[in-house]
Amino acid sequence: MKRGNLIDGKGIAGQIKDELKDEIQAWSAESGRRPGLAVILVGEDPASRTYVRGKVQDCEQVGIYSRLIRKPDTIEEEELLFEIHRLNEDPAMDGILVQLPLPDHISSDRIISEIRPEKDVDGFHPINAGRLSTGLKSLLPCTPHGILQMLKRTGISIAGKHAVVVGRSNIVGKPVSLLLQKEDATVTMCHSRTQDLAHYTQQADILVAAVGRLQFITAEHVKPGAVVIDVGMNRTPEGKLAGDVDFESVREQASFITPVPGGVGPMTRAMLLYNTVQSAKERG
Ligand SMILES: Nc1nc2c(c(=O)[nH]1)N[C@@H](CN(C=O)c1ccc(C(=O)N[C@@H](CCC(=O)O)C(=O)O)cc1)CN2
């Protein structure tokens, strides 16, 4: 059998950014302002610093005004909340993003739920999660929305397919299951404690691996011809970035597969820009 085709997340993200650049230019000419994104980074975690830098660069590329707010990891929860409340009231800011993870002494749930839902460009606020689960319009979480866009723009049909999602997190597993269901897929949700995982994953036409364990999904989990989406971002013992899927062996079975890096990650970044533009347009 032919090796699976690569789904080019980086390329598709580039297309979306080009589309957004045009959209932002037209909207800014009409409204007299640029969409604005505030990014809050707490502490000095090297990976978080890299991601935040990437977000600021993405904004520059497409014409979004961005403000990076850096705080020491000793900051008190109340002080961080004060900053969120200030940004909630700032008319120049359409989106507020708090880079995760936060230090242990700060409750991410509390911080996220204090962001105004209409400025919650991560789509993590309980109001946005609730609206998604009841089928109402909302800001969608970036990684799940990015996965959906990748499938659609690659021409992979979803309706009537059996999608199996491995992972039940609030930020990927649950919302991606809802989005796939909304597109008329039949969805099965599994997780790290599912017994006989391969029994379920072998039935998947579309398999989404979002379990956060290095190379957890192997060829024996995959039906020949399946579409495999790898959300994992793990480090190998050699320090290389690798996903939840054992890429080389699974590629032999799959019809389409996302690489890590270059798959879901760049789509997450692109959909953050998309949400910021949506938020700006809604707010006027
Ligand atoms: N507030 C948030 N915090 C975090 C999120 C998030 O969506 N919102 N997700 C991750 C980190 N993240 C974005 O913040 C993110 C991570 C990685 C990538 C990406 O493009 N990865 C590249 C590879 C990069 C590398 O070489 O290290 C790829 O997959 O090609 C995008 C976004 C946790 N925190």
pLDDT at position 192: 84
Task: Report whether residue 212 contacts ligand 1, using a CB cutoff of 6 Å.
Answer: no
167 appears as a binding residue in the annotation:
yes
Question: What's the rounded Cα separation, in Å, for the pair 35 and 143?
Answer: 21
Q: Is there an atom of ligand 1 within 6 Å of 149 CB?
A: no
ipTM of this predicted complex?
Answer: 0.97
For 54-78, what is each residue's pLDDT tens digit? 999 999 999 999 999 999 999 999 9
Q: What predicted TM-score, i.e. pTM, was given to this entire model? A: 0.97
pLDDT of the residue at 2: 79
Catalytic residues: 55, 99, 122
Predicted pLDDT at 1: 61
Q: Ligand 1 within 6 A of 6 CB?
A: no
Nearest CA to ligand 1 atom 20: 265
The answer to whether 113 is a known ligand-binding residue is no
Position 279 pLDDT exceeds 90: yes
